[in-house]
Amino acid sequence: MRTPMIAGNWKLHKTLQESSGLVTELIPAVADNRTVEIVVAPVYTALSKVAEVIAGSNIKLAAQNCHPEAQGAFTGEVSPALLKDVGCHYVIIGHSERRQLFGEKDEFINHKARALAVAGLGIIFCIGETLEEREGGQMFDVLRRQIRYGLKQLSADQMAGVVIAYEPVWAIGTGKTASDVQAQEAHAFIRALLAELYNVQVASATRILYGGSVKPGNIDGLMTQPDVDGALVGGASLNADDFARIANFQPPG
Ligand code: PEP
């Protein structure tokens, strides 16, 4: 009942021409895929161009970040309304690179989440523990904290627009993927937490993506896990063949 999502986070890569070339290659490669929601998140400057190229296809647009305020003296920032205006369906927030490199805290991420929900944009909300936290036995506490504070004040109705991406920091861009069992363990914990914080309906309807070195060679295994509803893909989303193979994963069974 949960539509799988495969989302590509292009991070700080690709010129306008390269971005448009990548989606132009991707469109026919995923055109027959009617069962998966496919999303790409280019750099801000390529959003408008990519929106134009994917119009009428089954690929949706996401932004990699936003600022929570609607307008004002926030030099260099982009609001939810402007992202909606350019054609975004989703916005990624809470990515570990934003948390680690730009010092974003749960409270600020929560401010963005609330602003996006009000603007009617979908949210891809990233959480995940570092290796140190995992090895120190704090993984579940970290995930609990990130969800409790990051999604604070979002109503059960607003949760319909939220997709959670579990991305263990030690697996992002490192080539080390969580095993299928490790991913399932974290996802099951997240789903149980949603039942506790909201209710069983929200828990069973919310999609939980796995992210961290997802490749054509490991997606099928990850998707056999009952609580893995898709993937947030970094490096492998920069190549049309690889990303198409991930989006066209072989369903379990
Ligand atoms: C990401 O940036 O969200 C990510 C998962 O990157 P990679 O697939 O390269 O590990």
Averaged in consecutive runs of 10 residues, what is the pLDDT profile of the chain (253 residues)?
97 98 98 97 98 98 98 98 98 98 98 98 98 95 98 98 97 90 97 98 98 96 97 98 97 65
What spacing in Å lies between the alpha carbon of 71 and ligand 1's midpoint?
Answer: 30
Rounded Cα distance between 223 and 2, Å, is: 12
Out of 97, 209, 214, give the residue to mutate to test ligand 1, the one with the largest number of ligand atoms within 8 Å of its CB. Answer: 214
242 lines ligand 1 (CB under 6 A): no
What is the spatial distance between Cα 71 and Cα 81, in angstroms, rounded to a whole number? Answer: 9
Q: Which residues are catalytic?
A: 95, 167
**Cα 202-208-209 angle, rounded to 5 deg:** 160
How far is residue 243 from each of residues 27, 35, 216, 224, measured CA to CA in Å? 11, 16, 8, 18
SS3 at position 234: coil
Could you read off the pLDDT of 56-92 as tens digits, one per residue?
999 999 999 999 999 999 999 999 999 999 999 999 9
pLDDT at 245: 98
Count the alpha carbons within 13 Å of 126 in the hemisphere toward its beta carbon: 29
The pLDDT, as a whole number, for residue 252 is 63
Q: Is 128 in the pocket of ligand 1 (CB under 6 A)?
A: no
| 240 residue type, one letter | A
Q: What pLDDT score was predicted for residue 175? A: 87
Structure tokens at 119: 């603007």
User: Is 66:93 a contact under the CB 8 Å cutoff?
Assistant: yes
Q: Is the CB of 4 under 6 A from ligand 1?
A: no
pTM of the entire structure?
0.97
Taking the centre of ligand 1 as the mean of its atom positions, its distance from the CA of residue 73, in whole angstroms, is: 32
Ligand 1 centroid to residue 96 C-alpha, Å:
10
Q: What pLDDT is attached to residue 185?
A: 97
pLDDT number for residue 253 = 62
